[in-house]
Amino acid sequence: MRIGVVTFPGSLDDRDAARAIRLAGADAVALWHGDHDLHGVDALVLPGGFSYGDYLRAGAIASLSPIMTEVIDAANKGMPVLGICNGFQMLTEAHLLDGGLIRNDKGRFICRDQGLRIENNASDWTTGFAANAEIVIPLKNGEGSFMASVETLKALEGEGRIVARYIGGNPNGSLNDIAGVTNARGNVVGLMPHPEHAVEAGFGPDTDNAMASGVDGLTFFTSVIAQALVAR
Amino acid sequence: MPTIVVEVMPKAELLDPQGKAVAGALGRLGQTQSALANVSGVRVGKRFEISIEGVADAATLAAVRELADTVLSNSVIEDVVGIHVQDAPSSAVA
């Protein structure tokens, strides 16, 4: 399986995402924001960072990039797309996901290992998780507070489209402790925390067993690979 | 040069952490400057000034209105609170 990672001006976690994809067992394909070409990939990751310095709104200018025409088209045809942090912000700005992200409620950039509950294990990126699995992956952002209208929130909750919820305290004021959501089809997922930073023992969050041994993030990538095999 | 001004504010019902931080600083100033003691809140928004060659006709204004709703603001988290035309880009108040 070939999974593309799009690099935008100001992307930071594109190489980490590519590495996570390789560790999960797929080929990572580097894609460029200025192209109109997905190079025949089977799935896509929009990585974290600060595209265009968060000018206008986080993710807003990147969501208007040339390659986003192809990304939006592919997503609407069912291609699995994962937006992480800035990538999540791009997906909301591109209207592929509901809601929006604003500045953290306490006005601080937050960087810490964060507990999450995976509440939807039917999306293309979460099938490898047990129902309501509790995981820990890094969270690092300044504008991670998820907002949506009352009606949108009701639809997201009612249709089981909350992929991940913060546990152990709401870090940023997100409505209903929402850390990640999916679209109705379950192929597009946005996450504020970073699964690509918890994929290899020695470099992940601390666990009860050993320092830096957390690899809970890997399951997002192995899930989409397993889904692709089922789809064939 | 005609200039179309678009003003965008965070939605009133959402927390504005930036405004809150500024209000906090004003509150601390208020302890020493009695004229600021009655400031009860601050919200921070954005102002865009779009310079137009020639005249800002109805079609241009309509296009900018569309731009304001789709690109310059995100209706999930912000409202466009004003669009008007002025003769030139703003300069400092006398």
- Give me the CATH number covering residue A188: 3.40.50.880
Please confirm, yes or no, whether A85 is among the known catalytic residues.
yes
Complex ipTM: 0.88
The single-letter code of the amino acid at B84 is H
Residue A229: per-residue pLDDT: 81
Long-range contacts of A213-218 (CB under 8 A, 24+ apart): A214/A113, A214/A136, A214/A137, A216/A135, A216/A136, A216/A137, A217/A20, A217/A135, A217/A137, A218/A20, A218/A23, A218/A24
The whole model's pTM is what? Answer: 0.95
Residue in chain A closest to B15 (alpha carbons) equals A105
Residue A232: per-residue pLDDT: 57
Tell me the shortest Cα–Cα distance from B77 to chain A, in angstroms. Answer: 6
Task: Please write the tens of the pLDDT for every residue from A196-224.
Answer: 999 999 999 999 999 999 999 999 999 99
C-beta separation of A110 from A140 below 8 A? yes
What are the structural domain ranges in chain B? 3-86
Task: Please write the tens of the pLDDT for every residue from A120-170.
Answer: 999 999 999 999 999 999 999 999 999 999 999 999 999 999 999 999 999
Please confirm, yes or no, whether A159 is among the known catalytic residues.
no
10-residue stretch averages of pLDDT, chain B, 94 residues long = 96 92 86 80 96 93 97 97 94 82
DSSP codes of every residue in A169-201: S-SS--GGGEEEEE-TTS-EEEESS-GGGSSST
What's the domain range around A161?
2-231
Contacts of A91 in chain B (CB under 8 A): none
| Cross-chain residue pair A100–B18, CB shorter than 8 Å | no
Distance, in Å, from the CA atom of B50 to the CA atom of B6, rounded to the nearest integer, reads 8
Structurally, how many domains does chain A consist of?
Answer: 1
Backbone angles phi, psi at A57, to 5 degrees: -150, 155
Question: What number of other Cβ atoms are within 10 A of residue A41's Cβ?
Answer: 22
B3-86 CATH fold: Mth169; Chain: A , (3.30.1280)
| Cross-chain residue pair A149–B76, CB shorter than 8 Å | yes
Our measurement of the distance from residue B66's CA atom to the centroid of its chain's CA atoms, rounded to an integer in Å, reads 17
Distance, in Å, from the CA atom of A121 to the CA atom of A126, rounded to the nearest integer, reads 5
